[in-house]
């Protein structure tokens, strides 16, 4: 542990519940263990952390750094990586993630952490917002906690896309968007997760929902929708969120076990591209110790990249 590293990394909080910027760190595969530990601790506390000025990173450097925090997965269970098998391009040309979600919740081993690097940014707009799902659970009144503690949800990559994304706002579904959706759903997965999962590292309870939820187990579709909306409103309450305005060279890292996020599609047809590396996670566990179960699909190829 070097004293220099301890002094160099400064954690600047961005809100009561969610987000911190870390200054004074040059990300890369050569970071010392003390700084990596500090980054990890800040991530667990603040749920999403941001680094400015990382223009020196390319995909290889991003992957080398991300590997210090965990085991990279394939880019996606169904969408192939570009260049490197672990790198998922988030490109406005064929996809805009402008609805609230946690990444890849339709498989049993939901990724633990995502590391996102700005590659090309629009001249205006294109911020991303994160919400803290632990704070959302904590702030529920006791009767609602008792209800959700025992509730389960079915998550699928063949979710109701039109219900969660306003296509008019993103210019309608064009051919590239449709072809991306077809790839995205080329193998269908369905997994049952507890609505409240116990975080494997912090022991905190977090709401596990987002746009891949198809229905709540045991409820009618109308009841599912009503309760889902009530809980999503709790998650996305602005006090639970942080909004990041990207600059070139920025890197954001989120704890995918304790957050949802939303990429704001307010930059018209301007190109926007970020590269994501996703780190493997555990199978979620409910408050009574029951593990999530995949009902449809086998995602065993996805979770750990050799």
Ligand X SMILES: O=C(O)CCC(=O)C(=O)O
Candidates 31, 39, 115, 116: give the one binding ligand X (CB under 6 A): 116
Q: Which two tokens stand for residue 35?
A: 């700084």
Candidates 99, 102, 128, 157: give the one binding ligand X (CB under 6 A): 128
Residue 301 among the catalytic residues: no
3-state secondary structure of 242: strand
* Residue linked to tokens 């990249």: 305
> What's the distance, Cα to Cα, between the start and end of the chain in Å?
29
- CB of 103 vs ligand X, minimal distance in Å: 5
Q: Residue 151 carries which DSSP code?
A: -
Q: Which is nearer to Fe ion, 103 or 255 (CB)?
A: 103
Distances (CA, A) of 124 to 92, 170, 269, 272: 14, 15, 11, 10
Residue 17 among the catalytic residues: no
CA dist., res. 85 & res. 284, Å (int): 25
Please name every residue paired with 13 in a beta bridge, in sequence order, or none if there are none.
20
Q: Which is nearer to Fe ion, 91 or 103 (CB)?
A: 103
- Exactly one of 21, 38, 101, 193 is catalytic; name it: 101
Q: What track of x and - describes contact with Fe ion for positions 56 through 95 (by CB under 5 A)?
A: ----------------------------------------
Q: Which is nearer to ligand X, 234 or 276 (CB)?
A: 276
Asked if 251 and 116 touch (Cβ cutoff 8 Å), the reply is yes
Q: Which two tokens stand for residue 191?
A: 């997994």
- 10 Å Cβ neighbour count for 86? 22
Asked if 111 and 279 touch (Cβ cutoff 8 Å), the reply is yes
Q: Which of 95, 89, 94 is nearest to 116 (CA)?
A: 89
Query: Does 263 help bind ligand X (rule: CB under 6 A)?
Result: yes
- CB of 253 vs Fe ion, minimal distance in Å: 13
> What are the two backbone dihedrals, phi and then psi, of residue 292, each rounded to the nearest 5 degrees?
-60, 155
Query: Does 286 help bind ligand X (rule: CB under 6 A)?
Result: no
Candidates 25, 75, 99, 103: give the one binding Fe ion (CB under 5 A): 103
Query: Does 261 help bind ligand X (rule: CB under 6 A)?
Result: yes
Candidates 253, 276, 281, 294: give the one binding ligand X (CB under 6 A): 276
Kindly identify the residues of this chain, within the stretch 74-93, that bind ligand X according to CB under 6 A: 90
List alpha helices for the chain, DSSP H: 3-8, 33-46, 59-66, 133-138, 142-149, 161-164, 175-184, 221-235
Q: Which is nearer to ligand X, 42 or 116 (CB)?
A: 116
Residue 56 among the catalytic residues: no
Residue 274 touches which of Fe ion, ligand X, none (CB < 5 to 8 A by kind)? ligand X
Query: Does 255 help bind Fe ion (rule: CB under 5 A)?
Result: no
Query: Does 97 help bind ligand X (rule: CB under 6 A)?
Result: yes
- Residue numbers of the site for Fe ion (CB under 5 A)? 97, 103
Contacts with ligand X by CB under 6 A lie at: 90, 97, 103, 114, 116, 128, 261, 263, 274, 276
Active site residues: 101, 103, 261, 276
């Amino acid at each position: 542990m070097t004293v220099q590293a301890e002094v160099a990394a400064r954690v600047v909080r961005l809100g009561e519940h969610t987000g911190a910027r870390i200054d004074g760190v040059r990300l890369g595969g050569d970071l010392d263990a003390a700084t990596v530990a500090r980054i990890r601790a800040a991530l667990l506390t603040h749920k999403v952390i941001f680094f400015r000025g990382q223009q020196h990173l390319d995909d290889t450097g991003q992957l080398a750094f991300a590997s210090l925090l965990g085991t990279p997965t394939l880019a996606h269970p169904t969408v192939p990586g570009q260049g490197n098998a672990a790198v998922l391009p988030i490109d406005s040309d064929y996809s805009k993630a402008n609805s609230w979600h946690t990444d890849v919740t339709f498989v049993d081993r939901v990724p633990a952490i995502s590391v996102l690097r700005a590659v090309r940014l629009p001249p205006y707009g294109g911020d991303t917002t994160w919400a803290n799902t632990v704070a959302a659970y904590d702030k529920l009144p006791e009767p609602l906690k008792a209800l959700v503690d025992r509730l389960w949800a079915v998550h699928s990559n063949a979710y109701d896309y039109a219900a969660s994304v306003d296509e008019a706002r993103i210019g309608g579904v064009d051919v590239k968007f449709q072809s991306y959706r077809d790839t995205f759903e080329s193998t269908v997965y369905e997994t049952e997760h507890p609505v409240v999962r116990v975080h494997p590292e912090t022991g905190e309870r977090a709401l596990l929902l987002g746009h891949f939820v198809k229905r709540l187990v045991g409820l009618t579709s109308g009841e599912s929708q009503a309760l889902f909306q009530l809980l999503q409103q709790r998650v996305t309450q602005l006090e639970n969120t942080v909004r990041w305005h990207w600059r070139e060279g920025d890197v954001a890292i989120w704890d995918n076990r304790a957050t949802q996020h939303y990429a704001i599609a307010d930059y018209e047809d301007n190109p926007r591209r970020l590269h994501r590396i996703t780190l493997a996670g555990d199978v979620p566990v409910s408050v009574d110790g029951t593990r999530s179960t995949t009902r449809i699909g086998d995602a065993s190829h996805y979770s750990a990249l050799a």
